[in-house]
Amino acid sequence: MSASFAQVLVAREEIETGVSRLGREIAETYRGVPGEVVLVGVLKGSAVFLADLARAIPLDLTIDFISISSYGGDASGSGVVRIVKDLEQDISGKHVVVVEDIVDTGLTLTYLRKTLGARSPATLRTVTLIDKAARRLLPVPLEWRGFEAPDAFLLGYGLDYRGIYRNVPDLIAVPDVARLALHPRSLVEELYPAQ
């Protein structure tokens, strides 16, 4: 399946297989280990992945969410961020698994690890669906990754373009973002024409 300016990078069946594998690996890490496991979803991109991943982990666990936002202006892209919505639970003494849809420059995850690490969790690990390792600016620990991705703009399965396309079930690569900017709402119809 492909449109003229976008391709399916990871199809939904392959995502499902990858998420199952990650769920098994995470469960093996914590099985028999005392203490509560908390999945921390980073809104909004990780919501779709987290929903599938949580159901692929055969352990008792809880789910919480955090939302952070980059400061605009001169600090944009510098990794300077603020918490828009904080966790609802105290994570001290708990096994925290940060759930990301994508790790790109590593700035977001670096900030999250510092912020959450200061709250004395028993352990702090990260799972990401997509690792864009080639774009990393800061080295950051990443315990589990689903897929390595090239340096193309991605959307679908939680990832957005200006807030849309998060509900697309496959992971789509858009090398020509300029064309998407011209026709921001045309992609779904091109990729998934009505039967």
Q: How far are the Cα atoms of 42, 71, 77, 135, 191 from residue 74, in angstroms, in the given order?
A: 24, 8, 8, 21, 37
Which residue blocks in 31-103 are alpha helix, DSSP H? Answer: 47-54
Per-residue x/- track, 72-101, ligand PRP (CB under 6 A): ----------------------------xx
Q: In this complex, which beta carbon is closest to ligand PRP, that of residue 30 or of residue 100?
A: 100
Amino acid letter for position 37 = V
104 sits near ligand PRP (criterion: CB under 6 A): yes
Catalytic status, residue 74: no
- What one-character DSSP code corresponds to residue 13? H
Q: Which amino acid is at 52?
A: D
- Tell me which residues in 155-194 interact with ligand PRP (CB under 6 A): 160
Which strands form 61-70's sheet, in the order they lie side by side?
A: 81-85, 61-70, 37-43, 95-103, 123-131, 144-148
Total number of residues binding ligand PRP (CB under 6 A)?
A: 16
Confirm or reject binding of residue 105 to ligand PRP (CB under 6 A): yes
Q: Which is nearer to ligand PRP, 30 or 146 (CB)?
A: 146
What are the residues binding ligand PRP (CB under 6 A)? 42-46, 100-109, 160
Residues involved in catalysis: 104
